[in-house]
Amino acid sequence: MDQFTYAPLTGENFGPRSLDKFTRRQHVKQCWRREGGALVLRPVEYIETWTAAERRGVAAEVLAAMRTGGAGFGAFRSGEVAGFAALSGKRLGSRGQYADLTLFYVSAPFRGRGVGGTLFRMACAHAKKTGAEKLYISAHSAAEVMAAYWALGCVEAEEIDPRHAAAEPCDVQLERLL
């Protein structure tokens, strides 16, 4: 069995080059799309990857979240980042009830091994500890991504954050009660 170490991200264990070996590869075949008010699974095929510059950009986003009142959590294996989650320092919702899960990824070689579930629970625990009632997720609409979020107890968001919806119109806006 693979051995992973989980920890809050800090300047000691995460930096600008921490995702240089991270494999963001997903062969998408089906995506959920909103049609007539309902989610419908549609054939949409493409491969999503990150370039070296994109990996560094995402690392910078994680570091920025940590510097501005957010938090990050990492899964490590043999010194490599196997997965990570980041919460924004800003609250969302009409009452500030949502903590915003801005980034949540598991490197392709480590998927299906419980890494995502552990990171998600860490993010939920932190969000609850800081007073949030729910986690807000602007989720990639790929069938397998949505299946993972649903398995983690996520449902469609009661309140849609307009900034997230405008930035990623194909995403599905979710929430998870904490």
Mean pLDDT over all residues of the chain? Answer: 96
Query: Which residues on adjacent β-strands are paired with residue 135?
Result: 99, 176
Does the pLDDT of residue 47 top 70, yes or no? yes
- Residue 103's pLDDT is 97
Does the pLDDT of residue 2 top 80, yes or no? no
- Residue 79's pLDDT is 87
> Taking residues 38-64, what's their average pLDDT?
96
> Taking residues 39-65, what's their average pLDDT?
97
Does the pLDDT of residue 1 top 60, yes or no? no
> Taking residues 109-126, what's their average pLDDT?
96
Does the pLDDT of residue 11 top 70, yes or no? yes
